[in-house]
Amino acid sequence: MIPTKDPQFNLRFAKPDDAAMVLGFMRKLGSYQKMADKIVATEAGLHSLLAAQKGEAIFGSYAGQTVAFAYFCQTSSAFIGQSGMYIDGFFVDESMRFKGLGKIMMAYLSKLAIARGCKRLEWACLDWNQPSIDFYKGLGAYGVDGMKIYRFAPEVLQANAALF
């Protein structure tokens, strides 16, 4: 357990055997974001990512109940020549919001990023999610305007790979 400034709130790193709990929080996040059908991860897939250290997660427990989580991974950018961390999932149970727990988690992730030599911490936020945007801006974050995220879905990835 990692103690925090709130004596009732502790953090801990997920282990591969916590994959079901990670998936549960991702499903909560997907529901909140009105994208529940987009969460296609499996417990086995998350177990593999955690075991291979391709992704990490922390859980936040308040008074012994797990109420928050963040899933993240290390990144790097040749554009700016720096490493960073990317938060792919961040969620605090609705009943536990506005208690400072999200701020504590972001502070810990910031400290972890610095300890690992990272120069930035990044994440994406849906443009309609004003409560989260306000939370992030309140911490001093800024949006990267003029950039849109693109990705290849698995079948398109296969089709493009076949061109080589």
**Tokens standing for residue 7:** 């004596």
Catalytic residue at 136? yes
Query: Which is catalytic among the residues 32, 62, 136, 142?
Result: 136
Question: Pseudo-torsion of CA 71, 143, 85, 8, nearest 10°?
Answer: -50
Is-contact 61 54, C-beta < 8 A?
no
- The 10 Å CB-count burial string (b at 16+, else e) for 115-124 is eeebeebebe
Rounded Cα distance, 39 and 45, in Å? 12
Closest CA to 121 of 150, 147, 102, 141: 141
| Active site positions, annotated | 136
